Amino acid sequence: MKNFTSFADAGDYQALLNKALEIKQNPFGYQHIGRNKTVGLIFFNPSLRTRLSSVKAAYNLGAQAWVLNAGADSWTLEMADGAVMNGSTQEHIKDAIAVMSQYCDVLGVRTFPTLTDRDEDYEERTFNKILQYATVPVISLESATRHPLQSFADLITVAEFKRTERVKVVLTWAPHVRALPQCVPNSFAEWFSEVEWVDFVITHPEGYELDERFTKGARIEYDQRKALEGADFVQAKNWSSFHDYGQVLGNDPAWMLTPAHMALTNDAKFLHCLPVRRNVEVSDAVLDAPGSLIIEEAGNRVFSMQTVLHELLK
Ligand code: AN0
Ligand code: CP
């Protein structure tokens, strides 16, 4: 592994999953790998789980971590190549990333999409600049189009809680009050459509089709009730439209996950990457039910990150 930005970087996903399950059993067993190593974490956007689980993962591995909230804690960064910097930006991303690379052995970066310029987002122009200027391995802490550490944590969670050899996993769109990125569903689709022991179904209202580069191989079912039938795991997430880029096309509250939806499933376990808008995306009764794994799923963010750090630092 050279960088970790997508499913492709995971290589043999089953081997990586087995490693994560092993590390979870013995979280301090690889401290020789992190000794005298520094993990740098840069956030261009807010975070609770990614930020804290990454620090914890570094500590478990015997490494130190620093965090920078770019823009808020540092100089305002210029992204455009060749910019005449006589406006509000104070330091070029080129210099900032090259400098920060000297202060760490691996660099985690969170960027978000513009949700207004689809080409800029789907070409990952910001993240690719970071890859270009970094001189150490780079981990995506969520980019414009992907959130691979989240999907890896979701895979760990499904593997831990599955009751049968094969499982049906459903990703369902959920209503929200804001326009959100497609990163989480893109990555979820990219990962779960490749897992051999998963029957993967995506359900969403018409107009919320994701980029086919992420959903190829997945079954798409517009009837949410039909999709949920017999599900072993249900992951709910809102996303804005890909085709009508960044738009909220409708927010039918009937798509909010309730116990009536879950009753259609095979006593499914419930997943959500968090943060969740309670009683908008999903009802309290689902989030707080015994079958809800939202806290365990967030807990596994430590082990997805720790496993990736292990692979990059070993
Ligand atoms: C972000 C998103 O949808 O990508 C982060 C989720 C991990 N969610 C929100 O902005 C609410
Ligand atoms: N799930 C997730 O990535 O959460 P944060 O945005 O809080 O890091």
CATH number assigned to the domain comprising residue 264: 3.40.50.1370
Give domain status of residue 174, yes or no.
Answer: yes
* Structural domain count of the chain: 2
Rounded distance from Cα 138 to ligand 2 centre (Å): 18
Residues 256, 199 within the same domain: yes
> Is the pTM above the cut of 0.75?
yes
Token digits of residue 148:
């691979």
In a domain, 292, yes or no: yes
pLDDT at 160: 98
Taking CA atoms only, the protein residue closest to ligand 2 atom 6 is: 47
pLDDT of residue 263: 98
Q: Which helix (H) or strand (E) holds 200?
A: strand 198-203
From ligand 2's centre to the CA of 303, what distance in Å? 14
Q: Residue 190 contacts by C-beta under 8 Å, 6 or more apart in sequence?
A: 6, 7, 146, 151, 214
Please name the residue whose Cα sits nearest to atom 5 of ligand 1: 275
Nearest to 50 by CA among 239, 189, 188, 184: 184
Residue 1 forms part of a structural domain: no
- Quote the domain boundaries for residue 190: 150-298
Helix axes 49-60, 301-313, angle to 10 degrees: 50
Regions of the chain short of the pLDDT cut 50: none
Same-domain check for residues 125 and 11: yes
Residue 304: the pLDDT is 99
Dihedral sign from CA coordinates of 20, 23, 27, 30: negative
**Is the domain of 122 the same as that of 61?**
yes
What's the CA gap between 124 and 138, in Å, rounded?
14
Q: Is 50 in the pocket of ligand 2 (CB under 6 A)?
A: yes
Indicate whether 2 belongs to any domain: no
